[in-house]
Amino acid sequence: MKSSDEKIIKLLNKKGLAESSLQKTKTIERQFHSLQRKQKLKNIGISIKSYIFKSCSNFKKIIDKPFIRSSGTEPSFKESKKPEIKRSASEWFSHGNKLNDEGNCEGAIKAYKYALNINSNLPSVWYNLGCTYAKIGNDIEAVKSYQEAVKRHSDYLEAWHNLGSALDRLGRTKEAELAFHTEFLIWKKHAQKEGRY
Long-range CB pairs of 176-185 (<8 Å, 24+ gap) are: 183/157
What is the arithmetic mean of pLDDT over 125-142? 96
Domain range summary for the chain, segments of one domain joined by +: 3-77, 89-193
Amino acid, res. 36: Q
Q: Which residues pair with 75 in a beta bridge?
A: 69
Contacts of 153 (CB under 8 A, 6+ apart): 123, 159
Q: Is the pLDDT score of 10 beyond 80?
A: no
CATH topology of domain 89-193: 1.25.40
Q: Is the pLDDT score of 78 beyond 90?
A: no
Q: Is the pLDDT score of 56 beyond 50?
A: no
In this structure, how many other beta carbons lie within 10 angstroms of the beta carbon of residue 55? 15
What pTM was computed for the model?
0.56
What is the arithmetic mean of pLDDT over 72-79? 37
